[in-house]
Amino acid sequence: AQKITQTQPGMFVQEKEAVTLDCTYDTSDQSYGLFWYKQPSSGEMIFLIYQGSYDEQNATEGRYSLNFQKARKSANLVISASQLGDSAMYFCAMREGNYGQNFVFGPGTRLSVLP
Amino acid sequence: GAVVSQHPSWVICKSGTSVKIECRSLDFQATTMFWYRQFPKQSLMLMATSNEGSKATYEQGVEKDKFLINHASLTLSTLTVTSAHPEDSSFYICSARGQGYPYEQYFGPGTRLTVT
């Protein structure tokens, strides 16, 4: 079974608008972490934001915020005030275990920001 | 901080030759590094986990004798694609696990391998 599901293969958003990228996960661990990475066309993986399973507050990093709904096992990424440079692939990932022994990626969502 | 370099960034080789890709953590020690393969428009596929001073752990379906991984020091892991064939052409990315919580992965810029 898929551990990380990203149901949106592609998304479009108008510049300056907000966009939500979906991520649901499956784990039986109590302790886990959720990450979002951005991969522009150049190929490098850029870490965006992290949410721990025990964190009560939703994580925020600048224009990025994570809508964490633990009971639903979802960790959606919200990008506010989209910019043209946000066009990229976005991957949701999960670390299982306390020390990162298992790290799985979702299939990704391609975001295109329209001028 | 937490910079990972990868070399070369791209390489073209002839079928049957071997290619070595280096992954270095520049400003931290990485006891654990990971090697991924990524096909166009797809997600990262974990190939193996490399622990310093011990044998790599390969994922199911990854040929150990074809993809040789060596993690001889706390800052360097290498992936050697032996007897490369066109089907080995891909984007290879390494990462190093952070030393402390949240144990995120720091990624290298990737290596694009083309086998002709």
Q: pLDDT digit string (tens) for A52-75?
A: 999 989 999 999 999 999 999 999
Report the residue of chain A nearest B34, measured CA to CA.
A103
β-strands B111-115, B10-13: how paired? parallel
For B43, which of A42, A52, A105 is closest by C-beta distance?
A105
Q: What percent of chain A stands above pLDDT 70?
A: 95
B57 touches chain A (CB under 8 A): no
Best of B44, B49, B111, B112 to substitute, by most chain A Cβ atoms within 10 angstroms, is B44
CB nearest to B43's CB, from A33, A42, A91: A91
Question: Hey, is the C-beta of B70 within 8 angstroms of any chain A C-beta?
Answer: no
Distance CA B2, CA A15 (A): 31
Nearest C-alpha of chain A: how many angstroms from B66? 23
User: What pLDDT is stored for residue A100 in this prediction?
Assistant: 63
A93 contact residues in B (CB cutoff 8 A): 105
**pLDDT tens for residues B35-49?**
999 998 899 999 999
What's the gap in Å between the CA of A36 and the closest CA on chain B?
10
Compute the C-alpha angle B62/B63/B68, nearest 5°: 105
For B56-72, b where at least 16 C-beta lie within 10 A, e where not — what string? Answer: bbbeeebeeeebbbebe
List strand residue ranges (DSSP E) for B61-100, in order: 67-73, 76-81, 90-97
Nearest to A90 by CA among A49, A31, A62, A33: A49
Give the C-alpha separation, B5 to B23, whole Å.
6
- For the ranges A94-103, B5-14, B76-85, B101-110, the lowest mean pLDDT is seen at A94-103
Task: Please answer whether residues B43 and A9 qualify as being in contact, where contact means their C-beta atoms are separated by less than 8 angstroms.
Answer: no
